[in-house]
Amino acid sequence: MPNDLVPTEPTPSSVPAVSPEALSRLIENSGPTARDRILEFFTARIRNPHTRRAYAHAVKAFLEFAHARGVEKLQDIDPVLIAAYVESYAGSPPTKKLHLAAVRHFLDWLVTGQILPLNPAGSVRGPRHVVSEGVTPAFEPKQARKLLQSISTEDVVGLRDRAIIGVLIYTAARAGATAALKVGSFVPDGTQWVLKFREKGGKARKIPVRHDLEGYLRAYMEAAGIEPEDKASPLFRSAEKKTKRLTDRSMTGKDVLRMVKRRLKDVGLPENFCCHSFRATTITDLLDQGVPIEDVQYLAGHADKRTTGLYDRRQKRVTRNIVERISI
């Protein structure tokens, strides 16, 4: 497996270190086309860079586990070995399920490429893990308002940060999609102004811009000297250290997270909040007002309304109310 596709991350504690040369021999022993087929899996087959990294780590960890147990070629892999790997992996049930999914898709690709006759992972079941509510903490509406109102707008960085947090709150967009916005993403559609997002999985979405968010964006763009005609340039731009001046470079999702963490600290809000907390807050707030879950699902860009339900924090509030009524 090409080393540049496999990040160095911890493997199960029971697996000794395996050299890249040993893994290379395992692949070479599997047939003349095995290496090319594997390279295709991690390049042509998987387009999302986050998925590629996660799958590369999982497949590498599994192959190291297999090699340490005497597997000399991919054709020697069987269901018992895969089940043993999942059982022994020192991770949470969701992580184990992710590793099994990565191995299963990897071996499926080898089957369709005629490297393997059958997928040995097809009969292996992962650990049970049922999620009825997400773990991302959500703001109370007054906390989100407090955060917005705390941002000084005396300089362009403050105006930028207010606009970003406004987008996170009033569109329920993810941090990465927000950071990736271009000037041309903020456009009129004939009746209103909208933001055009490129979300996970290549999904394109248009979200109407409410009047106060439109004001935040216009104030920021004016202060930053951003011309609406320069449609291909980044909308949200990184700052030049502590100079309060912006560069021409686009912010990244990590830049947005660091900014949010800094603003949370400044206003004294819990540090466990993150960019995704705005998403959970907005979804919960709309559901709390009786907005149909199908409408909220469309705003959030979820393919399944069960995913939208994972962001609903009303269940937690009901649970606390019930517990507090115990008279013991």
Q: In the predicted model, what is the mean pLDDT of the chain?
A: 86
Which pLDDT does position 108 carry in this prediction? 96
Question: Does residue 231 lie in a domain region?
Answer: yes
Which pLDDT does position 177 carry in this prediction? 92
Question: How do residues 208-246 score in pLDDT, each as one tens digit?
Answer: 999 999 999 999 999 999 998 999 999 999 998 888 899
CA distance 224 to 193: 20
Query: pLDDT band for position 317 (50/70/90)?
Result: low
Question: Does residue 255 lie in a domain region?
Answer: yes
| Percent of the chain at pLDDT exceeding 70 | 86
Domain stop point among 112, 131, 161? 112
Domain stop point among 68, 96, 112? 112
CATH number at residue 203: 1.10.443.10
Residues 100 and 169 in one domain: no
Question: Does residue 129 lie in a domain region?
Answer: no
Which pLDDT does position 94 carry in this prediction? 84
Question: Does residue 136 lie in a domain region?
Answer: no
Question: How do residues 165-205 score in pLDDT, each as one tens digit?
Answer: 999 999 989 999 999 999 999 999 888 999 999 876 667 88
Q: Which residue has the tokens 């394109």?
A: 204
| Domain total in the chain | 2
CA distance 299 to 282: 10
Residues 98 and 151 in one domain: no
Domain with 179 in it:
141-322
Residues 170 and 289 in one domain: yes
Residues 176 and 288 in one domain: yes
Question: Does residue 133 lie in a domain region?
Answer: no
Closest alpha carbon to 73 in 130, 34, 122: 34
Provide long-range contacts, Cβ within 8 A and 24+ apart, for 14-22.
14/88, 14/90, 15/61, 15/64, 15/65, 15/68, 16/68, 17/64, 18/63, 18/64, 18/67, 18/68, 22/67
Residue 7 pLDDT > 50, yes or no? no
Residues 57 and 189 in one domain: no
Residue 87 pLDDT > 80, yes or no? yes
Question: Does residue 127 lie in a domain region?
Answer: no
Residues 102 and 178 in one domain: no
* Residue type, position 237, single letter: R
Residues 148 and 294 in one domain: yes
More confident of the two residues 184 and 283: 184
Q: Which residue has the tokens 């990465």?
A: 176
Residues 154 and 261 in one domain: yes
Domain stop point among 112, 131, 160? 112
Question: How do residues 140-149 score in pLDDT, each as one tens digit?
Answer: 889 999 999 9
CB count within 10 Å of CB 253 equals: 15
Question: Does residue 260 lie in a domain region?
Answer: yes
Scored b (16 or more CB within 10 A) or e, 28-66 reads eebbeebeebbeebbeebbeeeebbbbbbbbbbbbbbbb
Which pLDDT does position 63 carry in this prediction? 95
Residues 197 and 257 in one domain: yes
Residues 288 and 207 in one domain: yes
Residues 175 and 100 in one domain: no
Q: What is the mean pLDDT of residues 73-91?
A: 94
Please report how many Cα atoms fall inside a 13 Å half-sphere around the Cα of residue 107, on the Cβ side.
26
Question: Does residue 94 lie in a domain region?
Answer: yes
Which pLDDT does position 302 carry in this prediction? 76
Residues 175 and 99 in one domain: no
Question: How do residues 35-72 score in pLDDT, each as one tens digit?
Answer: 999 999 998 888 878 889 999 999 999 999 999 999 99
